[in-house]
Amino acid sequence: MNHPTLLETQIKYKFRSVEQLNPISLMNHLKIQKNEAVLKPDLPLAYLKNAESLSAFILALGQDQIKYGCIQSLDQLEAQDADQVKNAMIAKLGDYLPQSVISSNV
């Protein structure tokens, strides 16, 4: 055991804590260090983190090559910003959404 103090720190919590290492992330990093991981370029995606990223998110949604997206904290946006997100999502995915989603209020 090369790092007994680190191991002790990791097992001292009764429940998961942000202070603990994420086992999946740790495994990924160890595989990368050993050159056992196949690393590929990131996929292009539309990412909405907050109101400041709204314009970039909507522009990204309009691009055909963007197939993935992530929306964080939609509930914290102003109503008009949330409407912009909803309308952009409907424009991109409207053919796949049920009418109840398209016609509902945000």
pLDDT at 106: 54
- Among 35-44, 60-69, 96-105, the least confident range: 96-105
Mean pLDDT in residue range 84-89: 92
pLDDT at residue 12 above 70?
A: yes
Mean pLDDT in residue range 68-83: 92
Break the chain into its structural domains and give their ranges.
4-33, 45-103
When pLDDT is cut at 50, 70 and 90, the band that residue 82 belongs to is very high
CB neighbours of 54 closer than 8 A, spacing ≥ 6? 48, 77, 81, 84, 85
Angle between helix 79-93 and helix 54-61 axes, rounded to 10 deg: 10
Share of the chain above pLDDT 90, in %: 57
